[in-house]
Structure 1
Amino acid sequence: MMAAARKSTNWFALGVTAAAVVIVLIVGGVVWFANSQAAGPGTLPETSAVNTETGAIAVGTGEKTVDTYVDFMCPVCNSFEQAYGPTLQQLVDDGTITLNIHPISILDRASQGTQYSTRSANAAYCVAVDDAANIPGFVKAMYAQQPKENTSGLDDATLTSIATTAGASDAVSSCISDGTYSKFVTAMTQKTPVQPGGQGIATPTIAVNGTVLANQTDLTGDPQKDIVARLAG
């Protein structure tokens, strides 16, 4: 009586298949990691003054909040600083608010390819990490020397000079020239709230206690009406 043929397992074929699966998984993992790094926020500005989820640089410790999303190339941001800055600083000084400054970059296209908006926002984070107490002075100085749109903007050496004059240490020099937080700036810019009414992203964008104000109707140039009254209400 003929015995039934015994099926043998092709361990070699299984081994090759398993190895192929492992290689695919490894390659897939590498591709995923590379893509996540490219799309991610890059180096984070690790300091208690910076919220790495929102990009806010906190000035003051008040319970109420005012958030400002600004591009240092934006002339309207400069106008906002001149009209509202003293009042905001007073509210910080008397303990009423925490002023959350969000340096963003929506005007890189207006700096002849030098990406001034990103570079200047990066410089703000460099100053914040070095010592956030110097941020108010840095912001004021940046607006005092604001370049016009469609120029190349300030170079890195000038940004470093502004930072150190505001009180930052010499350590900010390499942070500014290396663009240490450039990817972080790009990632945080994408989190800028849209203007009420679906008008898209604009600078400045202002939020009082989390409520975004409409530039066209809620910013009248009167800080008492636009900011202080809303904080009280």
Structure 2
Amino acid sequence: MMMAAVRKSTNWFAIGITAAVVVVVLIVGGVVWFANSQATSPGTLPQSSSVNTDTGAIAVGTGEKTVDTYVDFMCPVCNSFEQAYGPTLQQLVDDGTITLNIHPIAILDRLSQGTQYSTRSANAAYCVAVDDPANVSAFVKEMYAQQPKENTSGLDDATLASIATTAGASDAVASCISDGTYTKFVTAMTQKTPVQPGQSGVATPTIAVNGTVLSNQNDLTGDPQKDIVARLDG
């Protein structure tokens, strides 16, 4: 007796469920990828001849040798560094010895009572650089002259805009500052700040001479001729 062949039926319901699950997984994966990419995206880039959008550096001067400063405008030690080293660095810029790369970063937002002052002030620096990089040095100098104390709300956006225009920027910077145009860029560049030798986290100011990161504790004595000029020559 010949046995009848068993006819296999296609389970379209199971296939449909499997396909739907695959689609859902792909959608969820896409949403997660998009959310992650948005979280790490640098956002609007500050398009200026003086800004390196890969490193966040705002270049002042055109010298062959380089000094990089990573600063938070809420940081009192950054202000002390500016007072001690600023004149020497400016002289090195003026005589064509160095390019001073200023990296405005934000690590002290927690000390501005929720106003995100470090991020807002760094954003303002990029607004000035995009408007006219020739005004960056004057802006930075005045920002330190009016530096708020830690654990205060910091300067408001209108004051930041006033400092910018006093430094020579156009009135257009006001909307750039109040809109927080480069806020995400500031966050992304802050994450790229190098760690000083002997430390486990980012500190400000962080200084690099010709690409070599210095230790505030061991390499900076307060004598710019010894700490900066000698290293440039060496």
User: How high is the TM-score relative to the length of structure 2?
Assistant: 0.92
1:210 Cα shift?
Answer: 0.9
Q: What does 1:170-181 align with in structure 2 at a 5 Å threshold?
A: 170-181=171-182
Counterpart position of 2:153:
152
Q: What does 1:28-47 align with in structure 2 at a 5 Å threshold?
A: 28-47=29-48
1:12 Cα shift?
Answer: 5.0
1:107 Cα shift?
Answer: 1.6
Q: Which shows bigger deviation, 119-128 or 163-172?
A: 163-172
CA distance in 2, matches of 1:148, 1:49: 29
Q: For residue 124 of structure 1, what is the amino acid of its counterpart?
A: A
CA distance in 2, matches of 1:215, 1:128: 27
CA distance in 2, matches of 1:28, 1:199: 33
Distance 1:57 1:11, change over 3 A: same
- Which 5+ residue runs of structure 1 have no aligned equivalent? none
Say how many residue pairs are matched.
233
3-state SS of 1:139 partner? helix
CA distance in 2, matches of 1:93, 1:35: 43
CA distance in 2, matches of 1:118, 1:63: 30
CA distance in 2, matches of 1:140, 1:188: 21
Cα deviations by residue, 1:112-134 (Å, 9 ceiling, x for unpaired): 22111111111111111222221
CA distance in 1, matches of 2:16, 2:116: 52
Counterpart position of 1:125:
126
Distance 1:127 1:4, change over 3 A: same
Q: For residue 180 of structure 1, what is the amino acid of its counterpart?
A: T
Counterpart position of 2:88:
87
1:229 Cα shift?
Answer: 0.9
Counterpart position of 2:140:
139
- Which 5+ residue runs of structure 2 have no aligned equivalent? none
3-state SS of 1:95 partner? coil
2:79 matches 1:78: yes
Counterpart position of 1:58:
59
Counterpart position of 1:166:
167
Q: Which shows bigger deviation, 168-177 or 152-161?
A: 168-177
Cα deviations by residue, 1:59-81 (Å, 9 ceiling, x for unpaired): 12221110001111112211111
3-state SS of 2:101 partner? strand
3-state SS of 1:160 partner? helix
Q: Which shows bigger deviation, 24-33 or 155-164?
A: 24-33
CA distance in 2, matches of 1:127, 1:96: 24
User: How high is the TM-score relative to the length of structure 1?
Assistant: 0.92
CA distance in 2, matches of 1:13, 1:82: 73
1:86 Cα shift?
Answer: 1.5
Q: For residue 57 of structure 1, what is the amino acid of its counterpart?
A: I
CA distance in 1, matches of 2:125, 2:227: 26
2:188 matches 1:190: no
3-state SS of 2:132 partner? helix
Counterpart position of 1:204:
205
Q: For residue 222 of structure 2, what is the amino acid of its counterpart?
A: G
Counterpart position of 1:113:
114
1:24 Cα shift?
Answer: 2.0
1:201 Cα shift?
Answer: 2.1
